[in-house]
Amino acid sequence: MAYFDLSDAAARRPGPAAGLRFLRRLFDTPFDRRSREIARQLDALRALSDAELAQRGLARDEIALHVFGCRQR
C-alpha cells in the first residue's frame, strides 16, 4: 500500500495572491519597475534621521530632488 503525506499540500499550493503576483510580473513594464524603485528610494531616505541625511550630504527637503536627479551640487 502506498502512502502519500498531503498534510502540507495546501501550504505548497499557490493561492490567489500568487496568481496576482504572476499577472503583475507578466504585465510589468520598465516604467512600473522604475516607479517602484523610486518609491523604495524615497521611503528609505525619508526613514533616515536628519543626522544620517547630513552624513550623506542631503537635507530633508532635498530628498525628492536627489532621487529624481534634479539636485544641483
Which is nearest to 23 in space by CA: 34, 14, 10?
14
Mean pLDDT split into 10-residue runs, the chain, 73 residues? 52 70 83 92 96 95 91 62
Q: What is the pTM of this model?
A: 0.62
Whole-number pLDDT of residue 24: 80
Say which residue the cell 534621521 belongs to.
49
In this prediction, residue 6 carries a pLDDT of 52
Cα–Cα distance measured from residue 68 to residue 46, given in angstroms and rounded to the nearest whole number: 14
Distance CA 2, CA 45 (A): 57
